[in-house]
């Protein structure tokens, strides 16, 4: 039997406390998260979430995103999930921490304090090996094509990815 995953939630005073991941999503509790954006020049590596994911399955998202385990640093989480989801490790640059809230369907809500990370790579030298339990497909996408696709088929993209593209374009690339 799988143990519930415990993640850091954020109290009103800013302190952290442990909460079961699904409870955080059902109740919409503010919690810590990470999002990773891997680039080759201005091309961004995006992933299509596996259809069996507990929310937003089959939708496109940024390179990688997750929640730190209780007592895990955001840096360690970003590195761990990049390896677990896509099978590679690269040096990551930490950026700002942002907050957003979104309905992700099935009665679940994201309410996240997200630390953003990025990396620049040469995709010809990067061996991307998606974990099929996590990732259905990957694609390198140019800014113009990404923004066009989001405008034409917004439901094909996760709510948080659409929020990032709208609210934090400086972290990615100019449209």
Q: What is the pLDDT of residue 1?
A: 55
- The reply to whether 110 sits in an annotated binding site is yes
- The reply to whether 69 sits in an annotated binding site is no
All domains of the chain, ordered by start, with CATH?
6-169 (3.90.79.10)
Is-contact 99 114, C-beta < 8 A?
yes
Over range 82-90, report the average pLDDT.
Answer: 98
Lowest-confidence region among 1-5, 47-51, 77-81, 95-99: 1-5
> Catalytic positions, please?
65, 112
- The residues that bridge with 40 in the sheet, in sequence order, are 43
Handedness of CA 91, 158, 48, 45 (dihedral sign): negative
- The reply to whether 112 sits in an annotated binding site is yes
pLDDT in tens, 124-154: 999 999 999 999 999 999 988 999 999 999 9
Over range 53-78, report the average pLDDT.
Answer: 94
Q: What is the pLDDT of residue 105?
A: 87
Residue 47 above 60 pLDDT? Answer: yes
Q: What is the pLDDT of residue 134?
A: 95
Query: Whole-angstrom Cα distance, residue 46 to residue 54?
Result: 19
DSSP one-letter string for 18-39: EEEHHHHHHHT--EEEEEEEEE
Handedness of CA 56, 47, 139, 146 (dihedral sign): positive
Residues 6 or more apart in contact with residue 123 via CB below 8 angstroms: 40, 43, 45, 140
| pTM score, whole prediction | 0.93
Q: What is the pLDDT of residue 173?
A: 47
């Amino acid at each position: 039997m799988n143990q519930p995953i415990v993640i850091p939630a954020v109290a009103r005073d800013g302190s952290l406390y442990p909460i079961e991941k699904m409870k955080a999503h059902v109740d919409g509790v503010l919690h810590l998260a990470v999002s990773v954006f891997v680039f080759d020049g201005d091309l961004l590596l995006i992933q299509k979430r596996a259809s069996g994911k507990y929310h937003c399955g089959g939708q496109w998202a940024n390179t990688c995103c997750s929640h730190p385990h209780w007592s895990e640093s955001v840096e360690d989480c970003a590195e761990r999930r990049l390896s677990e989801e896509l099978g590679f490790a690269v040096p990551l640059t930490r950026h700002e921490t942002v907050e957003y809230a979104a309905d992700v369907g099935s009665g679940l809500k994201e309410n996240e304090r997200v630390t953003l990370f990025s990396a620049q790579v040469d995709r010809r030298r990067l061996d991307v090996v998606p974990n099929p339990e996590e990732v259905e497909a990957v694609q390198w996408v140019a800014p113009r094509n990404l923004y066009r696709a989001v405008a034409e088929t917004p439901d094909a993209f996760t709510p948080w990815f659409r929020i990032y593209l709208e609210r934090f374009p400086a972290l990615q690339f100019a449209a």
